[in-house]
Structures are given as C-alpha cells and as structure tokens.
C-alpha cells in the first residue's frame, strides 16, 4: 500500500454563507524544495475529482466535507462546509479571527513526470484538505471571512511571518525535534530485535507538534504508540502531517551537504569502507571479424575508508530557568545547538570539497562573459560525463563567485542572468535573498561557508554522507547538588568520496 503524501499551501479563504469556506487548495505552477535539489510542482488539471474528499484540521481530525472543486487560473479551488462539532466550531472561530489561514492537502500520486530536478504532478488522487497554521507552498493570501450577521475584515497576511509567528514556529520546530529523538531511540530498540508494542495510535488526540511532544515526554501511551508507528513507517496508520517538519531547520543550514547523496550510517563500526573509482579504461567495441579478441580495459577501484566522526556540543542552565521562567530557554538553546550541529557538519563537507586536487579539472570563466561561461561549463560537464558516466546536477559557490555569476554579460554588455526582472537573452535566473538561482537548467547553491570566490560543478554522487538515525540526538543530565541541567546534541557521521571526478572547478578569478 502506497503512503499518502501531504503538501501545505497558503490559501485564500472566503466564507460565502454560514460555515462554508472557499479557498485555493493547490496553486498551479509554483515550486517548492522537497529534499536536497528535488522540487515539486502541480500542473493544471492535476485534480479531477473531489468525490468523498473530507475537510480535516491538521490532517488529524475530520471537521467537514469538500462539496465543490474547480480549476482556476491560479490553481484548484475548493468549497467546503464545516460541521457543527466541537472541533469544527473551534476551527471556524480561528478562521474568523484570521489565526488559521492556510490549506494543506493529502493525496496519492497517480501520474508524474520529471523536469530536471522537479517532480511535476500531472494527476493526483485527492483524499483530504486540511486547515493548518503554516504553509509549504506560497499561495493566495486570506482576504476576508464573513458570517451571516456581520462582515469581519481580516488583515492581509504578509508573506514574511511576524515576530510572534516566528517565535511560535521556532517552538514548534523544537518540540518536533524532541519527538524525533524519541523516535530515533525506538528505532534503535527495533533494530536490536527487541519487541515493541504496535498499538494503533490515537492521532486525533494531538492537535499540534507541541501537544504531541509534551505528551511523549510525560509518558503518554497514545503518544508512544504514535512515535512507534512513525518509526516503523506503518502504512496502515494515517500519521499526522507535523512529523518530520523539524528536518527543514537542519537541512536549511546544510546547503553543501544537502546537495550530495546521503545514506544511513551502519549500526556499528568506527570506520566506513567504500569503493572509490580512481581510473576507468573500460571499452566496448565492435567484434570484427568474428572470433577476434574483444576490446579490453580496466576499472580501477580502490577500497577506501572514512572515519566515523562524532559531532556534538552542550550547554547548562539552572532548573529554575528551565522550570519556572516564562521564557522557553530550553527550547531556544536546543534550537541553537541544532543549528550549530548543522553548520559544523556542513563545514566538514565543504572542507572535503575544497581540499581535493583539481589538477586537470579546472575551467577558466574569469572573463565574465556569457561566451566564457558557456565554454567553461560545457567543458566541465563533458569532463564529468566522460570520466564517470554521470552528468552535472548543481553549481555550488561562495558568495563572491555568486555575485560574479550574476554579473555575467553578453556581447552587448547587458546582463544575461535574470535578477528581479532585469536582463535580456537570459541564460539563468537568481533569487538573491534566497541565495540561489539556476544557470542553463542547473541549480545554483550558494553556501557562505565555501571560500568566497570558489565555484564547483558536481553530480550528487561525488560525495555521500552517512549519518546516524535521528541526528542530532538530544541528551540531558542533571546535577542534584547544584540544581543544574546540562543539555547536549550529537550525531555520528562519515563522509565518503566515491566519484572524485564528478566534482570540478570553475575559476571565476
């Protein structure tokens, strides 16, 4: 049985009559990052039926039913009626107050296609639409919510969360990281062959990440059952959509690491053995005449080992601060430690990339012209394909090299990279606030930890990181004599280099 996929969207909600909402459930033509360089986009016509589609709150509890659905220029718009239940009334009030203003959809993919690194959803089987607090896609904003007796104008929601919303999201992210720590521990129990209860979790009991995390810490049996279900990926259980949300916090701070392939670290061992291709003279030719010796070549594979390194850090604070303070210092500290863990492990991958010998694997594009860039990138791509059979998947650069690429000009001196609507005869585009872009269809990944004027072209198979499950794991210990708690995060990681020739340099200076 395939697993249902959930995606969140900002939505425009308008109540046309009592307890009825209208909103954009799925915007068309917008892309989001899933993992690494993979993106997703819904195509017009992807949803063709709303038969038996329910309205949920947070993918957990049904609160109504979708009654109509139609394609518009912006996307797929739905009409849904909220049931007169306790939870339905709560959600209805929050919609009127503008607290809830987003949609999320649950679906099974039916027909997809790949466009580079983008998965295009051509047809999906829509199963449910949920009202949720936070979106993944950028969709339409709230305009207004009306009731029978009066019309209440709802202030337009800015695309950037305000300070209160940001603080809420930070706390939610930390709550989910706590949950993942518990799930990681359950996975270790399962891998050790110990028996684990498999009761169906009461997912409807927890309305948010915070409720679930607190219940798990307090030993709630339903929360434990939900954590076990998540750790075993049981496809018979409709898991809430918030599980796994915190991973975005880690991945956002590891742009270079996330650009390469990743795998689970073996359960034991202080080193990881892997095969590294050092030379390839294999050849296949035409046998003519018959009985003539076939073409001969060698594939040189070296057995290489990578050390399993422990990355971690800790801090301390008093029990009074943790238990009595009105400010959630503990969650803030754990969030900061998790970000520090992400930055340190990302820097380890950056150091490996920068330390390679690029003799014979450098192409000069410092002229700053489109001709130089086209020639250098074409030669670099040809080298990767010839030596490894792979094709380039990304350009990774420091901030100085990124600025250089944005200023590449054509023969007429005009920029050829589209930046905020400027540029003609474009060969790419850039999102400067997002430190990203694309050139000739290749995503540009900007990492401030890369030396400022360095620029690399790579296939994701060049490097593979193997990381322990659930990393970074949280630990805590208390000192009963001083009423002090020490908290730490740590993880194990090995960094391997299977295809060194799938990593080359563009010299911009």
Domains of the chain from N-terminus onward? 5-157 (no CATH), 166-244 (no CATH), 246-473+482-509 (3.90.1690.10)
* 212: confidence class by pLDDT, cuts 50, 70, 90: low
Residue 126 pLDDT > 60, yes or no? yes
Residue 127 pLDDT > 90, yes or no? no
* 75: confidence class by pLDDT, cuts 50, 70, 90: confident
Query: How confident is the model at residue 1, as a pLDDT?
Result: 42
95, 13 Cβ separation under 8 angstroms: yes
Residue 269 pLDDT > 50, yes or no? yes
Section 326-333 average pLDDT: 72
Residue 30 pLDDT > 80, yes or no? yes
- Contact partners, residue 432, CB within 8 Å, separation at least 6: 406, 419, 420
- Contact partners, residue 428, CB within 8 Å, separation at least 6: 405, 416, 417, 418, 437, 438, 439, 440, 444
| 26: helix, strand or coil | strand
pLDDT digits (tens, 9 = 90+) for 79-101: 888 888 888 888 888 888 777 77
Section 241-265 average pLDDT: 75
Calculate the average pLDDT of the chain: 75
Residue 150 pLDDT > 80, yes or no? no
- Contact partners, residue 481, CB within 8 Å, separation at least 6: none
Q: What is the DSSP letter of 369?
A: B
Question: Which H or E run includes 248?
Answer: helix 247-252
Query: How confident is the model at residue 456, as a pLDDT?
Result: 97
* 257: confidence class by pLDDT, cuts 50, 70, 90: very high
Residue 214 pLDDT > 60, yes or no? no
Query: How confident is the model at residue 223, as a pLDDT?
Result: 65
Query: How confident is the model at residue 357, as a pLDDT?
Result: 94
Residue 29 pLDDT > 70, yes or no? yes
pLDDT-above-90 percentage for the chain: 23
pLDDT digits (tens, 9 = 90+) for 407-434: 888 777 777 777 655 444 578 888 888 8
Cis upstream peptide for 289 (omega within 30°) = yes
Query: How confident is the model at residue 301, as a pLDDT?
Result: 77
Between 6-15, 135-144, 220-229, the lowest mean confidence (pLDDT) is in 135-144
Of 6 and 421, more confident:
6
pLDDT digits (tens, 9 = 90+) for 155-183: 333 334 444 444 444 444 444 444 444 44
Question: Which H or E run includes 252?
Answer: helix 247-252
* 362: confidence class by pLDDT, cuts 50, 70, 90: very high
Residue 26 neighbours by CB distance under 10 Å: 28
Query: How confident is the model at residue 117, as a pLDDT?
Result: 82
Query: How confident is the model at residue 149, as a pLDDT?
Result: 40
Section 184-204 average pLDDT: 45
Q: Are strands 39-42 and 31-33 parallel, antiparallel or unpaired?
A: antiparallel
Section 119-130 average pLDDT: 87
Section 392-401 average pLDDT: 95
Residue 471 pLDDT > 60, yes or no? yes
Query: How confident is the model at residue 410, as a pLDDT?
Result: 79
HEC states along 160-205? Answer: CCCHHHHHHHHHHHHHHHHHHHHHHHHHHHHHCCCCCCCCCCCHHH
Q: What backbone torsions phi and psi does residue 341 show, to the nearest 5 degrees? A: -60, -45
Q: What backbone torsions phi and psi does residue 12 show, to the nearest 5 degrees? A: -100, 120
| 136: helix, strand or coil | coil
Which among 124, 82, 85 has a CA at the least distance from the CA of 105?
A: 124
Query: How confident is the model at residue 366, as a pLDDT?
Result: 94
Give the best-scoring range by mean pLDDT among 69-78, 370-379, 407-416: 370-379
């Amino acid at each position: 049985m395939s697993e249902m996929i959930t995606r969140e969207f900002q939505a425009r909600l308008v109540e046309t009559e009592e307890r009825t909402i209208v909103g954009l459930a799925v915007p068309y033509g917008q892309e989001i990052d899933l993992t690494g360089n993979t993106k997703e986009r819904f195509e017009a016509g992807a949803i063709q039926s709303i038969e038996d589609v329910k309205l949920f709150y947070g993918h957990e509890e049904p609160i109504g039913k979708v009654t109509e659905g139609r394609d518009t220029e912006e996307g797929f718009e739905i009409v849904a009626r909220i049931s007169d239940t306790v939870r339905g009334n709560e959600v209805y009030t929050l919609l009127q107050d503008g607290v809830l203003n987003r949609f999320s959809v649950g679906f099974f993919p039916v027909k997809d296609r790949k466009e580079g690194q983008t998965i295009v959803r051509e047809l999906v089987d829509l199963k449910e639409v949920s009202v949720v607090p936070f979106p993944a896609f950028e969709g339409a904003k709230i305009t207004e919510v009306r009731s029978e007796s009066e019309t209440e104008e709802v202030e337009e929601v800015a695309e950037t969360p305000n300070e209160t919303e940001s603080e809420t999201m930070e706390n939610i992210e930390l709550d989910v990281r706590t949950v993942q720590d518990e799930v990681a521990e359950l996975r270790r129990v399962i891998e050790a062959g110990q028996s684990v209860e498999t009761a169906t979790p009461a997912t409807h009991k927890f309305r948010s990440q915070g409720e679930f995390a607190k219940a798990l810490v307090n030993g709630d049996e339903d929360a434990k059952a939900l954590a076990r279900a998540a750790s075993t990926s049981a496809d018979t259980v409709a898991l809430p959509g918030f599980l796994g949300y915190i991973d975005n916090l880690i991945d956002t701070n590891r742009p270079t690491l996330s650009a390469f392939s990743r795998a689970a670290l073996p359960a034991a061992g202080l080193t990881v053995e892997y095969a590294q291709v050092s030379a390839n003279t294999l050849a296949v030719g035409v046998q003519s005449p018959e009985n003539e010796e076939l073409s001969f070549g060698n594939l040189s594979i070296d057995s290489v080992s990578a050390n399993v390194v422990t990355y971690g850090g800790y801090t301390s604070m008093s029990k009074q601060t943790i238990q009595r303070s009105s400010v959630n210092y503990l969650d803030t500290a754990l969030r900061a430690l998790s970000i520090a863990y992400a930055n340190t492990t990302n820097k380890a991958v950056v150091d490996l990339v920068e330390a390679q010998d690029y003799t014979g694997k450098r192409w000069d594009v410092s002229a700053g012209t489109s001709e130089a860039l086209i020639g250098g990138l074409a030669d670099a791509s040809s080298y990767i394909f010839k030596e490894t059979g792979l094709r380039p998947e990304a350009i990774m650069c420091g901030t100085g090299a990124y600025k250089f690429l944005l200023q590449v000009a054509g023969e007429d001196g005009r920029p050829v990279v589209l930046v905020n609507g400027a540029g003609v005869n474009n060969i790419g585009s850039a999102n400067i606030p997002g430190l990203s872009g694309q050139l000739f269809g290749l995503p540009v990944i900007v990492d401030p930890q890369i030396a400022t004027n360095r620029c690399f072209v790579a296939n994701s198979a060049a490097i593979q990181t193997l990381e322990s499950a659930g990393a970074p794991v949280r630990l805590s210990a208390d000192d009963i004599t001083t009423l002090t708690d020490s908290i730490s995060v740590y993880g194990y990681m090995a960094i391997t280099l299977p295809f060194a020739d799938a990593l080359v340099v563009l010299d911009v200076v």
